Amino acid sequence: MEKKDIFAQIHELETHMGDLHQELGVLKLVVKELLEENQRLWMENQQLRKVLHHEHHEHLEALPEAEGESVPAADDPDLFSEAKENVVGEGYDNLARLYHEGFHICNVYYGHLRTEGDCLFCLSFLNK
């Protein structure tokens, strides 16, 4: 073999390795996106299972009680004040739970998976 042939082969191998390196980088990004989506769907699935389980138990508990108890009057002021307090607290708790599960709750990245630790926007939103 001549020197030119060897250098041509080395250059060809080097070009091929560069192309493979770029393909590998693209594949790594696709795998990362798939893993993030898989994690998001898994957590969403777990939350839906919890909600379904919770609603199922509430429904089962409500059946025997509905037979013997009366329904509170709609003009009862305590009924609505308690409901408002529960809604506000429950919403905050849900946002805090979502944040601790790894999702953004701020208006900038809402619903995206947090991959780089704490988000100052989310934390300031929780502290309001």
Please, are residues 126 and 99 in contact by the beta-carbon 8 Å criterion? Answer: yes
54 touches 90 (CB < 8 A):
no
For 66-120, what is each residue's pLDDT tens digit? 454 444 454 455 544 444 444 457 788 888 888 888 888 988 888 888 888 888 8
Residue 100 annotated in ligand binding: no
> Residue 76 carries which side chain, given as an amino acid letter?
D
Single-letter amino acid, residue 119: C
Query: pTM for this one?
Result: 0.41
Residue 110 phi, psi (nearest 5): -50, 130
CB 118 within 8 A of CB 126: no
Is 106 annotated in a binding site? The answer is yes
Q: CA-CA distance, 74 to 91, in Å (whole number)?
A: 24
| Sign of the Cα pseudo-torsion (89, 92, 98, 102, in order) | negative
Check the annotation: does 119 bind a ligand: yes
Q: What is the pLDDT of residues 24-52, one digit of tens each?
A: 999 999 999 999 999 989 888 888 888 88
